[in-house]
Each structure stands twice: as structure tokens, then as C-alpha cells.
């Protein structure tokens, strides 16, 4: 019967001899081993005697919402044959540790979920050192063969080069975090992969960033590069908004000299500023009232209407049923840009022409960086909760544990 409470608490092989309630409402459980000494690990002798019984405090899982510590009266044995000493061991209480194995697993699970070390230590009534050791004991997932890769960048520290986050789009997990995003850094990582892993990579989804493209072309010549559609559509929206802001600035410059901005004769056009979000909204999501507002705006300023039409023309490319139709729509868009001669869209079209093949590859391999963007958001939450991660190794380990 004395062993029943120990079994209920998952401490089989130990006997609870006393329960102490501390002033801070935490619990101390005095425990001792029930097994007798077997053999001397040094000489194999059976004649053992207890030399001393030191008390070792070991932090354990909370009990009934209270922090709990085990006060283990550990027996230190002396062998009468060889005269050497050894201490008893228990699988739940690791040697030379101040926390139990299951409590360390609890800390590691919370840290792997993205919690800040200081926050976890405060809530679990332990030290940041113990949380850090628990986090360091988490084994990273082994590298597996990947068919579809995704490369995206994340901020590690302000003022430093962005880090590269490499994700497996099929298993939806992060496989590596690189310190930098240069062509040399990415190429070095790809060269470190086993030959079988490199041959297995068929598709790589990236942002329109030249260093990534060159590294993949050189190290993975058999892989198809797909440019993320979100960044390209965002570029079209940015070009449209640049036209709106330029028209607004032109209206401000046309104001007669000496006229106050708030005067009745001021030429600043507030309707352009108020329509900034409406111009970025997708055509299919516009309500009837919003359509009427845009028609009125386009009637007074045809240049804004032309910019909005170019933006929607580019978005229509991704609604094409196949690559042939997408290529025809892309050519029509580029021709319209040349006719309108809007500087922001002309600059955007230069980049689109440079990434034409990677844009059209989407219609044969519909792959995006959507999962990678979700990982970047999670990385931001981890950094915010931790108030920053100064060490890149710590940053890398946390991202791989939380998202790998």
C-alpha cells in the first residue's frame, strides 16, 4: 500500500515518506528507493553497506496545480570487497540533474511551441538555464529526400543580412535555416546535400530574387524554378499605387502659388487618397457601390483607369486554364504596358520579362511560397515573444524545432 501513491505519480520504485507544504504553496515530496543494493559495479561483489544518505532536490511535474520538488534520500553504497563507493540510480531521476526527465520533456515541448524561455521559466517556477538545456536536448528531424523546395527570407536581427529559410512543401516543414541569402550561401548548402537528395529535387519555389535563381541554376540544373505568384501580383499592385501617388503629387504641384493647402482653390485631390485601398482590391471582390465609385474616378482621371486596367490584366494571367493561354495573356499585358507608357508599369514589365519562364512554369507546376510565408509569420511571433534572438545558432535551432 505504501507504493500505491508512488505508482499514481509515475514514480514506481520510490516510496513517499513525507509531504511538505512550503510557504509559497509549493510541495516537497521526500522519497527514497525501495530496491536493495544488488552488486558493486566495480568488482561485482555483493557485500554492500550504506555509507551515507544525502538528500538531493529534483524538480518534477506540478501536482494539483502546485510546483513540486522531489527530495530524494539517495543511498550511497560502499563495497566491503573493494572499498569503492557508488550511488543508487533511478530511471526517472537522471544522474547529476536537478530536474526529472519528464519535467525536462515538458519544458522542451513548451519551448518547441515557440514560447520564450523567460516566459516558460516564470510560469514553471524554474530557471532559464533549465529551459535552455531542455530546448537543446530536442533532437532535430533527420534530413529526408525532398521533391519540392521553397526558399524565403526572414529577419534574424535588425541591421544584418536576411536569413534564408528552406522548406519542404510536400511535408510542410522547415529543413534548414541559412545565415544569409547570397548566392554563395545558398550554393554552399545545395553542394552539401548528398547526390541522391540533389537529384530528387524537381521543383524550387522562390521569390523573384536573382541570387536564389543563379544558385539553383548552377547547383540544381535539373530542377524547375517557379516564381511565387503572390510577389508578382503584389508588384502589379505596387505599380498601380505608384501611379496613384504620382497623380496626386502632380495635382499638388499644380496648386497656384500662395494658395493654402486647406483653401477652397487647393488642387490636392482627396478622392485619390481615399481610393487607395479600393484600387488595390480585386475586381471580383468589388461591390456594386465600389464599382460605381471607381467608374466615377476613372471618368475624371483616365490615367488611373489605365493603371487599374493593367493591374487587373496582370492578375487575369493567373486565371488562365493552361500555359498556352497564360502566355497569350502575358503578351497582351506586356503590349498594353508598352502602349500606355506608365513609368511604374514599364519598370515592372522589365522584371516580368526577366522572370517570364519562371512565371509561366507555375501553370505546369502550380507551386507557391504560401507555406513559407506562414513560417515567416511564425518566426516573427517567436522573435517577438523572446524579445529578440541575438545568436543565430539559437535562432536557427528554435525555428527548426518549432517548424521542422
Sheet harboring 14-21: ordered strands across?
Answer: 14-21, 27-33, 66-73, 55-63
Pick the residue with more confidence: 95 or 252? 95
The pLDDT of residue 265 is above 50: no
User: Model's pTM, two decimal places?
Assistant: 0.76
Joined together, the cell numbers standing for residue 188 give: 554552399
Residue 8 is inside which H or E element, if any? helix 4-8
Look at residue 302 and tell me whether its pLDDT is greater than 90.
yes
Residues forming CATH 3.30.420.10 domain(s) in the chain:
148-228+368-403
Query: What are the backbone dihedrals phi and psi of residue 12, each rounded to the nearest 5 degrees, phi first?
Result: -60, 140
pLDDT at site 251: 63
pLDDT value for 260: 54
Q: Where do runs of H (alpha helix) occur along 256-369?
A: 270-274, 276-280, 288-300, 302-317, 323-340, 343-354, 356-360
Q: pLDDT by residue (tens digit) across 325-352?
A: 999 999 999 999 999 999 999 999 999 9
Cβ-based burial of 302 (10 A; exposed 0-12, middle 13-18, buried ≥19): exposed
- Return the higher-pLDDT residue of 36 and 263: 36
Calculate mean pLDDT across residues 62-69.
86
Directed axis angle between helix 101-112 and helix 128-136, to 10°?
A: 80
Report the b/e string of 284-300 with b at 16+ CB within 10 A. Answer: eeeeeeeeebbeebbee
Domain 148-228+368-403, what fold? Nucleotidyltransferase; domain 5 (3.30.420)
- What's the pLDDT score for residue 257? 55
84 or 354, which is more confident: 354
Amino acid at each position: 500500500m505504501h507504493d500505491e501513491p508512488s505508482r499514481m505519480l509515475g514514480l514506481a520504485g520510490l516510496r513517499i515518506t513525507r509531504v511538505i507544504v512550503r510557504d509559497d504553496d509549493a510541495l516537497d515530496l521526500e522519497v527514497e528507493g525501495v530496491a536493495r543494493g544488488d552488486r558493486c559495479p566495480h568488482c561485482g561483489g555483493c557485500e554492500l553497506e550504506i555509507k551515507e544518505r544525502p538528500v538531493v532536490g529534483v524538480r518534477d511535474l506540478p501536482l494539483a496545480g502546485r510546483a513540486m520538488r522531489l527530495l530524494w534520500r539517495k543511498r550511497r553504497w560502499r563495497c566491503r570487497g573493494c572499498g569503492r563507493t557508488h550511488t543508487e540510480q533511478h530511471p526517472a531521476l537522471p544522474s547529476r540533474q536537478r530536474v526529472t526527465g519528464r519535467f525536462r520533456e515538458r519544458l522542451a515541448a513548451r519551448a518547441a511551441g515557440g514560447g520564450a524561455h523567460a516566459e516558460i521559466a516564470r510560469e514553471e517556477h524554474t530557471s532559464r538555464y533549465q529551459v535552455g538545456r531542455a530546448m537543446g536536448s530536442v533532437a532535430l528531424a533527420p534530413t529526408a529526400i525532398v521533391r519540392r523546395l521553397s526558399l524565403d527570407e526572414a529577419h534574424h536581427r535588425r541591421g544584418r543580412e536576411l536569413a534564408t529559410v528552406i522548406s519542404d512543401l510536400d511535408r510542410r516543414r522547415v529543413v534548414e535555416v541559412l545565415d544569409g541569402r547570397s548566392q554563395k550561401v545558398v550554393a554552399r548548402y545545395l553542394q552539401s546535400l548528398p547526390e541522391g537528395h540533389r537529384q530528387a529535387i524537381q521543383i524550387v519555389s522562390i521569390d523573384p530574387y536573382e541570387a536564389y535563381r543563379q544558385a539553383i541554376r548552377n547547383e540544381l540544373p535539373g530542377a524547375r524554378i517557379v516564381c511565387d505568384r503572390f510577389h508578382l501580383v503584389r508588384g502589379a499592385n505596387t505599380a498601380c499605387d505608384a501611379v496613384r501617388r504620382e497623380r496626386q503629387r502632380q495635382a499638388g504641384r499644380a496648386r497656384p502659388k500662395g494658395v493654402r493647402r486647406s483653401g477652397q482653390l487647393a488642387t490636392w485631390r482627396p478622392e485619390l487618397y481615399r481610393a487607395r485601398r479600393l484600387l488595390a482590391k480585386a475586381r471580383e471582390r468589388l461591390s456594386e457601390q465600389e464599382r460605381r465609385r471607381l467608374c466615377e474616378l476613372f471618368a475624371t482621371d483616365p490615367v488611373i483607369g489605365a493603371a487599374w486596367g493593367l493591374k487587373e490584366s496582370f492578375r487575369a494571367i493567373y486565371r488562365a486554364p493552361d500555359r498556352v493561354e497564360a502566355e497569350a495573356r502575358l503578351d497582351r499585358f506586356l503590349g498594353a504596358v508598352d502602349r500606355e507608357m506608365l513609368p511604374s508599369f514599364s519598370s515592372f514589365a522589365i522584371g516580368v520579362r526577366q522572370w517570364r519562364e519562371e512565371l509561366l512554369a507555375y501553370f505546369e507546376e502550380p507551386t507557391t511560397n504560401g507555406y513559407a510565408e506562414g513560417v515567416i509569420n511564425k518566426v516573427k511571433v517567436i522573435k517577438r515573444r523572446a524579445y529578440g534572438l541575438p545568436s543565430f545558432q539559437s535562432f536557427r535551432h528554435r525555428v527548426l524545432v518549432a517548424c521542422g
